[in-house]
Amino acid sequence: MTARQSLISLARDTGAALSLFVKDIGQGLLVVSHNTFALLGFALVAALMVFYSQADLRQRLEGEVFGWLHARQEARAEASGDMLSTLAEPDAIGRATATDPKELPRQQAAVAMWLARRYKVAPEPVSRLVKEAFEIGQRAHVEPTLILAIMAIESGFNPFAQSAVGAQGLMQVMTRVHDDKYEVFGGNHAAFDPITNLRVGVQVLKECIQRAGGVEEGLRYYVGAANLPDDAGYTGRVLAEHEQLKAVANGRPPVAKPAAPAVADERIALAH
């Protein structure tokens, strides 16, 4: 074999050896990387299992993350001068006592719109009260227009009204006397929730009518004048308003001037 041939053979063998070395190195790195990824995967799975098995740890971490996000949102809002975005409550509408009068039956809508004009209040909250009065009136066997008449005379549809003797809310129920009735609604502060006050008031009214044996005498019980010679015209005002509302509900125009609502502090309000 010539020297040239020997060099060529040596170069070929060296190249083959280098190729095999590089191939072995590559395979080794591939195996190592696969094992590393596998180890990382196992470590991640183990960490997740520990994380989800520790409820307190998870809740604390979630709280910190949400707190950080909320703080970032507030910082951006303050920088832009937009206060409402920091106070936003998309579910706040659920607390609103309101109904579109267009969604009510014709009879109820007519009553709601008449009351809104008469007492200068928004039709949406009054519509919700009219709807509730008709629904609970049917269940309690009390005329809904009588319920609405009492609200009109008692508070003028002010859900935050309070008399000098402590009668509160739309129907001016004596909260401290009927605190047991508010227990199922979460306590006495529910007296200032319009719907709750209406429901408790109707229950009180129903009991008064049953005790007295009739609506007129029941109203005297309701205002706390059952044992007094005079109810200061309360019963007459409520019944006059009641007749007006019945006329409106039946599609007839009111034939007499509606009675003005009583001021809460001027009421007798001794028992209800």
Domain ranges for the chain, please list them: 3-87, 101-266
Tens-level pLDDT at each residue, the chain (272 residues): 565 555 556 556 555 555 655 565 556 555 545 556 555 665 666 566 655 566 676 677 677 766 766 666 666 656 666 777 777 788 888 888 999 999 999 999 999 999 999 999 999 999 999 999 999 999 999 999 999 999 999 999 999 999 999 999 999 999 999 999 999 999 999 999 999 999 999 999 999 999 999 999 999 999 999 999 999 999 999 999 999 999 999 999 887 654 444 444 444 544 45
Instruction: Report pLDDT for 230.
Output: 92
Provide the CATH number for the domain formed by 101-266 in this structure. 1.10.530.10
Question: Alpha carbon of 142 to those of 134, 207, 240: distances in Å?
Answer: 9, 11, 17
Q: Cβ contacts of residue 86 below 8 Å, gap of 6+?
A: 73, 74, 77, 78
Please report the pLDDT score of residue 106 as a whole number: 96
- Contact call for residues 121 and 157 (beta carbons, < 8 A): yes
The pLDDT, as a whole number, for residue 52 is 59
Q: According to the model, what pLDDT value does residue 266 have?
A: 46
Q: State the virtual CA torsion across 186, 191, 195, 199 in degrees, nearest 10.
A: 90
pLDDT digit string, tens, across residues 50-68: 555 666 766 776 777 667 6
Q: What is the pLDDT of residue 23?
A: 64
- Among 191, 215, 196, 195, smallest CA distance to 205 is for 215
- H-helix or E-strand containing 167? strand 167-168
